[in-house]
Structure 1
């Protein structure tokens, strides 16, 4: 079995990770927990874990220091970073010390299991393909933070942000010596795969999107980035055209977007800008079609999901609030009780879920 150590100063976060991971299916077992970096180092020496999942902000020895010490003393251990803060600097630290993945709280079960699966693949492949695999991982490490920025800019239909991010990425590729055609092919493949995911999430056809292996595209980082800028910009233009110049607002697309992004800070203003209509018109048409306004629909989605999560008693209510998009747990309690007529704790205790 692959041994896993969980490091976080908040017990409820550790509980969420334990609840969400498909440990048995992945052939893994949790051998220990630690509340800070110093305790993690002691348990690493004692338990010899294969994977360490760590928070970044902890008292005493924090995640950044822990990653550095692990890289120096136990370079074979695979690490996954989990942070409650979407700070690019944190992601840079994670990449510098070769973390396998960088996940944001609240933890998404699919992302966690995907990161664990990547660790497993890395561990199993290290013996036979160590040199090549390490090179591939280094490229993936570098791309991870840029992927997060590209997602954000794409959802905002921000071509300028996309371009600036890819140019920044190009500078770092060159700084790290990632300029050979084989390396740049991986960059193209990974970022086109991300673009395909974004197209599918926005109900666009992605069948014609293929990674090229021609020498011209990958003969330099400039060519590679120009190619990616073209495809990302063209996709945003296509999506803009679909939304902006339709004879009629497609409310199903609006609803689908809300269904996929309800845990984020989605507002009526943002939706109106993304679909090129006034917020008054969007609000009126949405309520006419679905019987409730945009705000009430988002609230309904969050409450239904929160009620579903209450079924799992291993998930703390504070974590459920964050996963449903509420940082203020007091406000979550108030909204939940108003929606269902009973507080979440009472609902769980009485078995009403």
Structure 2
């Protein structure tokens, strides 16, 4: 249902137009009437019309001044102007303010009906266009976020697949006012910004003049080449810093091994890396995964405590991040070939105790 407001200083016009609207059979309802622009401005925010029918010549504030003011805050409003004079200057100004129709008094019912039908069609098209644009915006935000994660994880195959999906989506649903070359350029800017936010400063040339004009296939290929270049820079940057970051991750584990719920996510956050990339890099640098390394650290610390302290075996388990002593004992034996109690006895025997 669309909402219509009528502004005219003639009572007879109000009555006749109200009847025409009610008999139109269209999804339109009256939400406000005013005698001049000043009164209409006061009613505007409460009535929230989609269509405004206004006379030009009115006391206090004329129709053109009213339209000019409303346009500033409601640029999508559908305006229909009424006038008792076939004045070219009025019509010229009305067009400048984006008025949709200019009707002469006395109003021809058939012409008014046609104008209302056109207003409804245009408003329907705006709604559909807005819905498509909203869906497109949400979809491309999701795809760009996914692509940024794949780039950060240096997953070339899936990153290139994602680029192809993004460009296919743009071709079918992208905004008509944005050229494919402009979109490709903006996409690269967004990706470089996303990498910068993750601590990766990548020096790349992505000027607008580097993209094929109005050629979706060529732009898609060019974009894939740019992505490959970006991935090469990311991998190069990672190779320089990965060893240092893995050392930081190992130190973090060695300082926090007693936390029972210590996770890979927490370690990744501590060194500013994604979980996926840390997992892959950690295994590459240490020849073991995170869980195995954490258990190894805990078992070595447990050995030290059993050999050098008076803590019970159960208390030792708690100190190295185990809440279940049976699990701790089995894990300790798997690593060291002895139960915690047997290992402590061995240590005491070796020390002559």
Bin the TM-score by the shorter chain: 0.3 to 0.5
Q: Which has the higher contact order (CA 8 A, sep 6+)?
A: 1
Q: TM-score, normalised by structure 2?
A: 0.36
Q: TM-score, normalised by structure 1?
A: 0.36
